[in-house]
A and B are shown apart, each in its own frame.
Chain A
Amino acid sequence: MGDPDEALLARVADGDPAAVRALVARKLPRLLSLAVRMLGDAAEAEDVAQETFVRAWKQARAWRPGVAKFDTWMHRVALNLCYDRLRRRREAPTDTPPEVVDDGPAPDRGLQAMETGERVAAAMRALPDRQREAIVLCHYQELSNIEAAALMGVSVEALESLLSRGRRALRAALADMVGD
């Protein structure tokens, strides 16, 4: 299967401004979501997304088609940056909790949905990193099990175990909302 980003990337390498904006529109929301769900911190997630693109721009002219999908490569870069930050957090404990993600005003979304979202965010933050990563990649980023397992460097069976344990923990944390 070909890389759907390949043609766009070639135009980006030539500095085509329209292609740059198209790639940003296609990837930035996705990478920002990945980072914010991994880190639970809006400011840090924006830094990760921006740094991922800085590396992507450097890579654009050297990209060799067929080696990997560009989307997978960007996910790998973003995940590595997230893990760097998570590691630094563990090594430098602080009394200040990470900034709670503020989705901003959303007039079309009810208060109850916002509360549900905040509760889900809190439950996700409470998961072990690897379980959270598995759920983020499979549920939110909608990667295939093979892509997610490859990104995480585990077998598909190990991925499924992480997914099951993560979802079981979430179900327990949100039991009043989702039932047993």
Chain B
Amino acid sequence: MTRDGFEALAQAYGGDMARWPQDHWDEAALFAAQQPDLAAGVLAAAARLDEALDAWAPLAVSHGLREAVVAAAPAPRVRRGLTAWIWRAGAGAGLAAACAAGLMVGVMLSEAVTPVSADETVSASLANYDDLTGLVNGEGA
């Protein structure tokens, strides 16, 4: 590396060789070893500018800004789109099927246990009475 090359890198990237592009490190280190006084002077001058630049402290993040940014962040993921539709449709169909099945069972049970009307009961009793009367009177058997 030439003196001009070394100075150009310091001028562009500053006085800390660790911040120079990595592909120049070996050559720059060799130059600094060969010309230590020159290299030290170039680096020191660049480092003074770096130090001045670093005196411009960054702006602190205010609480209000931080909370506004956080508040705009994505909400916890919920089922969306097709997945949610399938889930809801499945749940709905299941609920509807359960209702239908319950209704059918209810109808069947009600038919099985509901007593026949009072009129039918009386008619049946009278018919049996007639049959018994016939037997007693020696009619048929």
* B118 sits at the interface (CB 8 A): no
**Alpha-carbon gap, A112 to B61, bound state (A):** 23
Contact, CB under 8 Å: A28 / B65: yes
Contact, CB under 8 Å: B68 / A50: yes
Contact partner of B48 (CB less than 8 A), chosen from A113, A163, A179, is A179
Residues on the A chain within 8 Å of B140, using CB: none
What string of 1s and 0s marks CB contacts (under 8 Å) between A11-42 and chain B? 01111110011001000110011001100001
Contact, CB under 8 Å: B49 / A167: yes
**Alpha-carbon gap, A32 to B62, bound state (A):** 10
Contact A46:B49 (CB < 8 A) given known A20-B70, A21-B70: no
Residues on the B chain within 8 Å of A140, using CB: 53, 58
Which interface class (under 10, 10 to 19, 20 to 34, 35 or more) fits B?
A: 20 to 34
- How many residues in A have their beta carbons less than 8 Å from beta carbons of B? 56
- The B-contacting residues of A in range 131-180, CB under 8 angstroms, are 135, 138-140, 142, 144-146, 156, 160, 163-164, 167-168, 170-171, 174, 177-179
Contact partner of B49 (CB less than 8 A), chosen from A14, A57, A178, is A178
Contact, CB under 8 Å: A24 / B69: yes
**Alpha-carbon gap, A113 to B12, bound state (A):** 24
Contact, CB under 8 Å: A15 / B75: yes
Contact A101:B49 (CB < 8 A) given known A21-B70, A57-B74, A164-B12: no
* A130 sits at the interface (CB 8 A): no
What are 18 A-to-B residue pairs whose CB atoms are below 8 Å? Answer: A15-B75, A15-B76, A20-B70, A24-B66, A28-B65, A28-B66, A29-B58, A29-B60, A29-B61, A46-B62, A101-B59, A103-B57, A117-B57, A140-B58, A144-B21, A146-B21, A164-B11, A177-B52
Residues of chain A whose beta carbon lies under 8 Å from any beta carbon of chain B = 12-17, 20-21, 24, 28-29, 32-33, 36-37, 42, 45-46, 49-50, 53-54, 57, 60-61, 101, 103-104, 106, 109, 113, 116-117, 120-121, 124, 135, 138-140, 142, 144-146, 156, 160, 163-164, 167-168, 170-171, 174, 177-179
